[in-house]
Structure 1
Amino acid sequence: MRLRAPIVLPCDPACSVLRDAVVDVLPDGRLGYVGPFADAPATADPVRSVPGILLPGLVNTHAHSPMTVLRGMGGDLPLLRWLREIIWPAEAKLTPADVEVGMLLGSVEMLRGGITTSVEQYFHTDHVVRALSATGQRALLGPAIVDTPGHDWRAQLDEVSARIDVDGRFLGTHGRIELGYGPHSGYTLPPAALTMVGEAARARDALVLIHVAESAEEDAEQRARYGSVPRMLAELGLFGGRVLAAHAVHLSDEDIAVLAGAGVGVAHCPGSNAKLTSGIARVPAMLAGGVRVGLGTDGPASNDDLDLWEEMRLAVLLARLSTMDPTALVATDALLLATRGGAEAVGRDDIGALEAGRWADVVHVRVDDPAFSAGLDVPDEHLLANLVWAAGARLVQDVWVAGEQVVADHEPTTVDRMKAQAAAGEVTRRIR
């Protein structure tokens, strides 16, 4: 099909604004021509005109979405107390079916907000996959690997490797789900585990998802021994392949150089970091140092929503406040962090932009809202400012993943949202 809109934002590096443009979706779910209607090739395909803005699906680079069933628990505690006193005990009560229920609701919430890809780190992979398959969302999964009571990190590592070796890295329709490794952090795993995870992931070209330097006190022992968490992970051999560092709040200039030199991406989670008083990540310095950065929501128990539009605004606000520089990040930076930047951070060149050959993950934003009271016939900078600063998840009207419409009129097309909400509520009431 061909989608035609008054505004198309391909999210190329220049953050171009295309007016009266089209997006061609090919039969294989990939993108064909993307550009001005006047230059579009002739087509016999059906043409659908949408009265708003088309942009690539957002990429949520760090989430624990099954935790929708834990939303609101312990919300006024700092990170380590929140984990040890509230979250880990509650998670111990979750069944595999509970995880599936939580992931289903999380996926629905993300798709309704224009997030077509999420990077998930959690347990019970089969049930997470089943929930994602039901909604049609794209995801990169890093099954959790931890050395905490009740968990055997060696068995978890072996299970991930065996699954990839047998089934391959990509699962589901159009390979929408990619498997990787999810070592929790340097403070919940012994050094040998981090070394072995790095070796296993590099052998399979798989992504490694790991929490890095999230709060000042969590890695005190590791910092004392190695100097910093990035230096520890580099020395232990975790780096060298596709690695995504979640949070990366407490970094020195040397740490940023280590991440950039190793090609490590960063998932910046400003909302969660602020709520848990973890700190403000040095995003402008990371970008200037050559680190690939995307945006993440973190889990819905620590944020407490799965809204990447909110993270766009927070990323800019906190960058400006922490540097006292109103140009530290601007609206175009925020949009690219949520799209193209997220794809680059996870080492994927097939998502995150509207370009020929990439997957047709497309979001339609309606503009019949006070956010666009001046209409679309305004300068490009003004239009992008309205989109980033004044619009939001509420304006996401339609969403396609690999050319399949998964949201229509702000509601999922493949699952019943109200049933998903009710099921999640039952789990929450049971485990509290």
Structure 2
Amino acid sequence: MFQRFTARAVVVGDRSGTVVPDAVVDVADGLVTWVGPAADAPPAGDAEVVALPGVLLPGLVNAHSHAPMVLFRGQGEGLPLDRWLGEVMWPREARLTGDDVEVAMTAASAELLRAGVTTSVEMYFSPERIAAAVGRTGARAVIATPLVPLPGMPPLEEQLAAAVDLAGTAPHDGTVEYGLGPHAAYTVPLPLLREAAGLARDRGLLLHLHVAETATEGGDLLAAHGLSVPALLAAHDVLGGRVLAAHCVHMDDGDLELWREYDVAVAHCPASNAKLASGVARLRDMLDRDIRVGLGTDGPASNDGLDLLADARLAAQLARLREASATALTAAEALWLATGAAADAIGRPDLGRLEVGRRADLVHVDTRDLAFEPVGDPADVITHLVWSGASRLVRDVWVGGRQVVAGGECTTVDAEALRIEVTERAARLARP
């Protein structure tokens, strides 16, 4: 089917913040086939024309999430990360069933889509059930099967073998991709990290792990080995290939140079870093070193939302505060971190930008609102998207040309029924 979308403007999703006023996006077979000014568009022919009153931007890409944690939203409030995990999250997660995960992920996926997020990198239990959930909602997911030594789980070697086997079952349509998700160097032994990294490189899989989230998490490793966590990962041949490191808050210059040397990508999670008082990452320094960075929400129990546009605004605010400079992160860069940069960070060049040949994941933001006035220059569109709370104005979303949000509501699932079911399951999991 050939579709033609017309809009007040198109935001491409590149670093420079390209905006095309009075624009057209053509879509066929789930891919973008033409983007540009309406005056230059080829003949529409028998296209289905979708005339939109607002702005079209690429589907947002969430580079780090544990979205099924909607079951635990708001729980453990006020605790630092180590106590939050050990005292609240891990005991409750030990009672999770596959059904819990699928219901929670379905609800979270609907929430993500309503906020314009069409792809998320998920690191959570029951990865097949996460895949089933996004299959229901029509979203995309890169699912890093977690490897973590929690009570009741198989030995890590068995977890790794199962994760590698699962990765071979992914479809080839770009909807679901499986990777490997060893939790962190402080929870997973270095020999297993090295083995997982080698398997990921051999198979072209994403290797996703937490690095330097808090100031103290690497203390025991430093005492034992005399190296920072990034240096330790390099020394044990964990780096190289598609490595995506979440958080990376406490990194010195040497650590950042290792990330640049090995082309390690970063999932920057400003909201959860702030809520858990983990710190403020050196975002400007990363970008200046050409380190690939994408924006992530983290889990909805540590954010507590899945609103990536809100996190783009916070990323810009924190970067400017950290550097004491109003130019430390531009609005265009902040939006790019949630679109094209995030796609680059997770190794998915088919996503994140409205360009010919990329997948037709489109987000319509209705600009008939005071928050989008005035627009005296095309760049003002991005300014308003970042600074004016635009996620509440997301009205329609398409994934691969298929509409999954219409009029601000997810069309593929019953959100109210999911809300009730999440409430009931969360109450069960909260009981000792």
Native 8 Å contact 2:17 2:379 kept in 1: no
CA shift digits 1:319-347 (9 cap, x unpaired)? 11111111110111101011001001111
Query: Match of 2:235, as an amino acid?
Result: E
> Matches of 1:40 and 1:188 in 2, distance apart?
54
Native 8 Å contact 1:148 1:188 kept in 2: no
Partner of 2:378: 380
* 2:33 alignment partner, SS class: strand
Native 8 Å contact 2:19 2:379 kept in 1: no
Q: CA RMSD in A?
A: 1.1
Partner of 2:182: 183
* 1:171 alignment partner, SS class: coil
Query: Match of 1:409, as an amino acid?
Result: G
**Superposition pairs of residues 14-413 of structure 1, within 5 angstroms:** 14-26=16-28, 28-44=29-45, 45-151=47-153, 152-165=155-168, 167=169, 170-171=170-171, 174-224=173-223, 225-374=225-374, 376=375, 378-413=376-411
CA shift digits 1:25-83 (9 cap, x unpaired)? 11x20110011111111122121110000000001000000100011110110000000
Query: Match of 1:397, as an amino acid?
Result: R
> Matches of 1:226 and 1:16 in 2, distance apart?
46
CA shift digits 1:81-107 (9 cap, x unpaired)? 000000000101111100111101110
CA shift digits 1:118-153 (9 cap, x unpaired)? 000011111111111000111100011012322321
Deviation, structure 1 residue 357: 0.5
> Matches of 1:190 and 1:29 in 2, distance apart?
42
- The answer for unaligned runs of 5 or more in structure 1 is none
> Matches of 1:42 and 1:142 in 2, distance apart?
43
Partner of 1:9: 11
Deviation, structure 1 residue 226: 4.2
Native 8 Å contact 2:312 2:386 kept in 1: yes
Native 8 Å contact 2:362 2:397 kept in 1: yes
Partner of 1:426: 424
CA shift digits 1:207-258 (9 cap, x unpaired)? 0110000001112112332421111111111111101000000001111110
CA shift digits 1:147-201 (9 cap, x unpaired)? 2322321111100111223x2xx327x3301110010000110111100100110
Query: Match of 2:298, as an amino acid?
Result: D
Following TM superposition, the consecutive aligned residue runs of length 4 or more in structure 1 with deviations greater than 6 angstroms are none
> Matches of 1:392 and 1:309 in 2, distance apart?
7
Native 8 Å contact 1:9 1:15 kept in 2: yes
- The answer for unaligned runs of 5 or more in structure 2 is none
Native 8 Å contact 2:105 2:133 kept in 1: yes
* 2:91 alignment partner, SS class: helix
Deviation, structure 1 residue 263: 1.0
> Matches of 1:163 and 1:304 in 2, distance apart?
30
> Matches of 2:236 and 2:149 in 1, distance apart?
17
* 1:175 alignment partner, SS class: coil
Query: Match of 2:423, as an amino acid?
Result: G
* 1:185 alignment partner, SS class: coil
Counterparts in 2 of 1:361 and 1:226: CA distance versus 1, 3 Å:
farther
Query: Match of 2:22, as an amino acid?
Result: D
> Matches of 1:13 and 1:271 in 2, distance apart?
22
> Matches of 1:425 and 1:322 in 2, distance apart?
38
> Matches of 2:152 and 2:314 in 1, distance apart?
36
* 1:334 alignment partner, SS class: helix
Native 8 Å contact 2:115 2:391 kept in 1: yes
CA shift digits 1:259-318 (9 cap, x unpaired)? 111111100000000000000000000000110001000000111110101111110111
Query: Match of 1:411, as an amino acid?
Result: E
> Matches of 2:325 and 2:377 in 1, distance apart?
24
Native 8 Å contact 1:52 1:365 kept in 2: yes
Native 8 Å contact 2:310 2:389 kept in 1: no
> Matches of 2:146 and 2:25 in 1, distance apart?
37
Native 8 Å contact 2:384 2:390 kept in 1: no
* 2:9 alignment partner, SS class: strand
* 1:142 alignment partner, SS class: strand
* 2:55 alignment partner, SS class: strand
Query: Match of 1:148, as an amino acid?
Result: L
> Matches of 2:397 and 2:246 in 1, distance apart?
26
> Matches of 1:296 and 1:220 in 2, distance apart?
25
> Matches of 2:379 and 2:40 in 1, distance apart?
24
Native 8 Å contact 1:147 1:190 kept in 2: no
Count matched residues.
425
* 2:8 alignment partner, SS class: strand
